[in-house]
């Protein structure tokens, strides 16, 4: 007794003649691997980048993402912690900048006041000399 696509084994348990292939998952690359590839591509000459990509089975878009990763940039769609930390840091720096600008304006006003006071005092000194 034989069905299409089914073989009978010695122990009378049918075996399929069609091989089942698992579904491929997303590839993940360790940080050391990414750095090594980016360094190698950085040293590569004209036309060698494509060879490296083919050899490693990578895409140019992956290189772009890895370069952003290496430079500290992150994808907006992930809403990563780094982005939140950068926003917090920008807010802190903006407040500090505003505080320092106010302090600068006050210092400039004080200098202007001192200049005017010096002018008034020198004017009084000149008028006293002319009276004598």
Collapsed DSSP state (helix, strand, coil) of residue 118: helix
The answer, as to whether pTM is greater than 0.85, is no
Quick one: pLDDT band at residue 46, thresholds 50, 70, 90?
confident
Q: Is the pLDDT of residue 9 over 60?
A: no
The arithmetic mean of pLDDT across residues 40-66, rounded, is 91
Rounded to the nearest 10 degrees, the angle between the axes of helix 31-43 and helix 48-56 is 160
The Cα–Cα gap between 67 and 113 comes to 54
The arithmetic mean of pLDDT across residues 36-53, rounded, is 90
Burial class (CB in 10 A: 0-12, 13-18, 19+), 63: middle
Q: What is the pLDDT of residues 85-129, one digit of tens each?
A: 888 999 999 999 999 999 999 999 999 999 999 998 887 666 666
Minimum mean pLDDT range among 14-18, 54-58, 88-92, 108-112: 14-18
| Cβ atoms of 15 and 9 closer than 8 Å | yes
């Amino acid at each position: 007794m034989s069905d299409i696509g089914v073989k009978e084994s010695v122990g009378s348990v049918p075996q399929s003649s069609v091989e089942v292939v698992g579904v491929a998952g997303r590839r993940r690359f360790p940080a050391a691997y990414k750095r090594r590839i980016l360094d190698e591509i950085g040293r590569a000459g004209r036309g060698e980048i494509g060879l490296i990509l083919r050899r490693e089975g990578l895409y140019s878009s992956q290189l772009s993402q890895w370069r952003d990763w290496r430079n500290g940039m992150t994808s907006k769609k992930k809403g990563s912690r780094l982005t939140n930390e950068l926003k917090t840091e920008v807010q802190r720096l903006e407040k500090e900048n505003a505080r320092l600008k106010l302090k600068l304006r006050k210092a400039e006003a004080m200098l202007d006041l001192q200049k005017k006071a010096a002018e008034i005092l020198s004017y009084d000194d000149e008028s006293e000399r002319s009276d004598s």
